[in-house]
């Protein structure tokens, strides 16, 4: 079976920066605009203030009421993003048959809000009258199922739960399925909605969340900065339409970018502490898969979350892979603006990488006023940079559990 070229033909985003137009979202990121805010909540008399990057959207009128009743927030965002991606790829306006299209989706937890609702019913209301639909609302593959049902997709419906690498792995596996001739078209991406009381308390217990910066909440996620002190959680969904060259040619459309490489590895080290060796393996595997010399890469969308250890280790891994060329690569962490979307992070960041190639514009690392000497590469502080000759870009996703995934795209 010969290998097929694989193209990105559509992008749909429900993100902290907006939910309607991927290009407008990219423009906000390019300007260094942060969507991070301080949100105060109270449950059972317990008050907490959390730095988060929420996605504001309204599914009413966009999703049938009967389907909406069976959807957790995480599935609502996934379906809305998939709808946008299909429209962006011109697959909704011309009655294209989607019966053989697959859905490959990444999700770290599933219906987190429904889990919280169940516990509230049991332990606060002291009732066993849990919603009958709780299991289908919670299960991680519900989002993929809803997209399949809504669009009558007959291809494989796959869900990957690999923490922060979930949606990068979903895209990578979809890429392989098309490249190797098993599928012609896949909706690939991720979704996550974990900004509820219980989830935030659990993350807080890990002592990895950022503290509010004196400049304001918006400036609290500071990857590569000397004064970084943790990550900020976000939520949202990002979906991309992947198609074979044959389908792109038959539809006579202009793709956004070509996917050319995917690498995955395991640190085999620690559930929460990253290891440079595993990250190095994933990047090298992606470069070999893409048949690229390391010197070809012009931009890296870094995983960098804003933790002291994680950012430093990723820079170390980049230096090991790219040697002297590392100094010439533009690197940025857009998490500084949209926060960490966990299972959806890789898909959002790869979508941003694709748009960077398409537009010849590289988004920045916001709030990088005091670069850490241990992260002393070209990390594009504050605002974006024009790069009209940018041809190859790489996106890193390095997850809890030691799971690493790297995607490489090429400008078309």
> What pLDDT is attached to residue 42?
78
Asked if residue 256 belongs to a domain, the reply is no
What is the residue range of 120's domain?
A: 6-251
> What pLDDT is attached to residue 124?
93
Asked if residue 283 belongs to a domain, the reply is yes
| Partners of residue 237 on adjacent β-strands | 14, 191
Asked if residue 362 belongs to a domain, the reply is yes
Output phi, psi for 211, to 5 deg.
Answer: -100, 155
| Partners of residue 209 on adjacent β-strands | 231
Helices 142-151 and 73-88 pack at an angle, to 10 degrees, of 40
Q: Is the domain of 236 the same as that of 267? A: no
Domain containing 181 — which CATH number?
3.40.47.10
Asked if residue 320 belongs to a domain, the reply is yes
Q: Is the domain of 86 the same as that of 234? A: yes
Length of the chain: 412
- Residues 205 and 209: their CA atoms lie apart, in Å, by 9
List the chain pLDDT tens, one digit each, 412 residues.
579 999 999 999 999 999 989 999 999 999 999 999 999 887 777 888 899 999 999 999 999 999 999 999 999 999 999 999 999 999 997 667 899 999 999 999 999 999 999 999 999 999 999 999 999 999 999 999 999 999 999 999 999 999 999 999 999 999 999 999 999 999 999 999 999 999 999 999 999 999 999 999 999 999 999 999 999 999 999 999 999 999 999 999 999 999 999 999 999 999 999 999 999 999 999 999 999 999 999 999 999 999 999 999 999 999 999 999 999 999 999 999 999 999 999 999 999 999 999 999 999 999 999 999 999 999 999 999 999 999 999 999 999 999 999 999 999 9
Closest CA to 391 of 286, 255, 298, 260: 298
> What pLDDT is attached to residue 95?
67
Instruction: Report the sign of the C-alpha dihedral through residues 401, 265, 191, 407, in that order.
Output: positive
Catalytic residue (choose from 340, 367, 375, 379)? 340
- Residues 150 and 154: their CA atoms lie apart, in Å, by 11
Closest CA to 78 of 97, 59, 101: 59
Q: Parallel, antiparallel, or unpaired: how do β-strands 403-410 and 257-266 relate?
A: antiparallel
In three-state form (DSSP H/G/I as H, E/B as E, the rest C), the secondary structure along the chain is CCCCCEEEEEEEEEECCECCCHHHHHHHHHCCCCCCEEEEEEECCEEEEEEEECCCCCCECCECHHHHCCCCHHHHHHHHHHHHHHHHCCCCCCCCCCCCCEEEEECCCCCHHHHHHHHHHHHCCCCCCCCCCHHHHHCCCHHHHHHHHHHCCCCCEEEECCHHHHHHHHHHHHHHHHHCCCCCEEEEEEEECCCCHHHHHHHHHCCCECCCECCEHHHCCCCCECCCCCECEECEEEEEEEEEHHHHHHHCCCCCEEEEEEEEEECCCCCCCCCHHHHHHHHHHHHHHHCCCHHHCCEEECCCCCCHHHHHHHHHHHHHHHHHHHHHCEEECCHHHHCECHHHHHHHHHHHHHHHHHHCEECCECCCCCECHHHCCCCCECCCEECCCCCEEEEEEECCCCEEEEEEEECC
Q: Is the domain of 78 the same as that of 29? A: yes
Q: Is the domain of 55 the same as that of 202? A: yes
Q: Is the domain of 246 the same as that of 265? A: no
Asked if residue 147 belongs to a domain, the reply is yes
Name the pTM for this structure.
0.97
Catalytic residue (choose from 107, 164, 221, 375)? 164
Q: Number of structural domains, the chain?
A: 2
Asked if residue 20 belongs to a domain, the reply is yes
Q: Is the domain of 84 the same as that of 191? A: yes
Closest CA to 351 of 75, 72, 84: 84
Catalytic residue (choose from 17, 151, 213, 303)? 303
- Residues 84 and 239: their CA atoms lie apart, in Å, by 8
Q: Parallel, antiparallel, or unpaired: how do β-strands 6-14 and 233-234 relate?
A: unpaired
Q: Is the domain of 270 the same as that of 235? A: no
Q: Is the domain of 63 the same as that of 35? A: yes
Instruction: Report the sign of the C-alpha dihedral through residues 59, 63, 69, 71, in that order.
Output: negative
The yes-or-no answer on residue 164 being catalytic is: yes
Asked if residue 223 belongs to a domain, the reply is yes
Asked if residue 1 belongs to a domain, the reply is no
Asked which of 216, 251, 286 is the last residue of a domain, the reply is: 251
Torsion angle (degrees, nearest 10) of CA 379, 192, 139, 66: -150
Q: Is the domain of 289 the same as that of 226? A: no
Q: Is the domain of 247 the same as that of 285? A: no
Asked which of 251, 278, 306 is the last residue of a domain, the reply is: 251
The yes-or-no answer on residue 151 being catalytic is: no
The yes-or-no answer on residue 269 being catalytic is: no
Q: Is the domain of 50 the same as that of 106? A: yes
Angstrom CA distances, 33 to 45, 67, 330, stand at 34, 34, 19
Cβ burial, residue 87 (10 Å; 0-12/13-18/19+): middle
Q: Is the domain of 326 the same as that of 237? A: no
- Residues 75 and 175: their CA atoms lie apart, in Å, by 23
Asked which of 198, 221, 251 is the last residue of a domain, the reply is: 251
């Amino acid at each position: 079976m010969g290998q097929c070229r694989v193209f990105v033909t559509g992008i749909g985003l429900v993100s902290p920066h907006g939910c309607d137009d991927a290009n407008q979202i990219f423009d906000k990121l390019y300007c260094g605009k942060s969507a991070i805010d301080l949100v105060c909540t109270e449950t059972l008399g317990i008050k907490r203030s959390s730095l988060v990057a929420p996605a504001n959207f309204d599914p009413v009128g966009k999703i049938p009421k009967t389907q909406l009743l069976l959807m957790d927030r995480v599935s609502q965002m996934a379906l809305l993003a998939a709808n946008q991606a299909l429209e962006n790829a011109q697959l909704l306006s011309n009655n294209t048959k989607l019966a053989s299209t697959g859905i490959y989706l990444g999700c770290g937890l599933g219906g987190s809000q429904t889990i919280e609702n169940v516990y509230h019913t049991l332990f606060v209301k002291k009732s066993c009258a849990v919603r009958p639909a709780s299991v289908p609302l919670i299960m991680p593959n519900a989002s993929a199922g809803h997209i399949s049902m809504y669009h009558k997709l007959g291809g494989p419906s796959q869900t990957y739960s690999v923490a922060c690498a979930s949606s990068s792995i979903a895209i990578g596996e979809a890429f392989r399925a098309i490249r190797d001739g098993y599928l012609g078209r896949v909706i690939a991406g991720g979704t996550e909605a974990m900004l509820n009381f219980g989830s935030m308390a659990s993350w807080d217990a890990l002592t990895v969340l950022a503290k509010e910066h004196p400049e304001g909440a918006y400036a609290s996620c500071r990857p590569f900065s000397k004064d970084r002190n943790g990550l900020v959680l976000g939520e949202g969904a990002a979906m991309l339409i992947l198609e074979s060259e044959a389908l792109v040619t038959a539809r006579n459309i202009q793709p956004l970018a070509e996917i050319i490489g995917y690498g995955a590895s395991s640190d085999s080290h620690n559930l929460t502490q990253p290891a440079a060796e595993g990250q190095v393996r994933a990047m090298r595997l992606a470069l070999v898969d893409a048949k690229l010399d390391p010197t070809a890469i012009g931009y890296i969308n870094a995983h960098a979350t804003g933790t002291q250890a994680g950012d430093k280790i990723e820079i170390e891994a980049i230096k090991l892979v790219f040697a002297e060329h590392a100094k010439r690569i533009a690197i940025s962490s857009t998490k500084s603006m949209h926060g960490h979307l966990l299972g959806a992070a890789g898909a959002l960041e790869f979508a941003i990488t694709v748009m960077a190639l398409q537009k010849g514009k590289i988004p920045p690392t916001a709030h990088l006023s005091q670069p850490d000497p241990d992260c002393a590469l070209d990390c594009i502080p504050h605002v974006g940079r024009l790069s009209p000759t940018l041809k190859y870009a790489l996106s890193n996703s390095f997850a809890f559990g030691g799971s690493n995934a790297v995607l490489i795209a090429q400008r078309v």
